[in-house]
Amino acid sequence: MHLNSIHEDHSVEELKEFASWILAIGDDNLGDPDDGCSMIAIPPELLIREFNDPSEAIVRGRAILTPYQ
């Protein structure tokens, strides 16, 4: 997986940690066994906490995930 950040304050280590977390979800290594519905704990540092408009916060905090070879 290849990730880039548009924010300069994100370190390479933070991006690696986020990528590992996303891959663990995709590989079904987090949460409960897959029965079609699963609860996954989102680490507090990944939560968007400060916002006035929830839709705008999601768009501004978006991540674009694409396959990378």
- Binned at pLDDT 50, 70 and 90, residue 26 comes out as confident
DSSP assignment letter at 46: G
- Domains of the chain: total: 1
Predicted TM-score of the model (pTM) = 0.47
Residue 41: inside a domain, yes or no?
yes
In a domain, 68, yes or no: no
Range of the domain at 40: 12-60
- Residue 28 inside a domain? The answer is yes
Return the DSSP state at 9.
Answer: T
Task: Tell me the pLDDT band of 40, cut-offs 50, 70 and 90.
Answer: confident
Could you tell me the two tokens for 66? 């694409």
> 43 near 53, Cβ under 8 Å?
no
Query: Is residue 26 situated within a structural domain?
Result: yes
Domain membership of residue 17 (yes or no) is yes
C-alpha–C-alpha distance, residues 58 and 9, integer Å: 19
Percent of the chain with pLDDT over 90: 0
User: What integer pLDDT is reported at residue 58 of this predicted model?
Assistant: 67
Does residue 52 lie within any of the structural domains?
yes
Question: Picking from 22-31, 38-47, 51-60, which range would have the lowest pLDDT averaged per residue?
Answer: 51-60
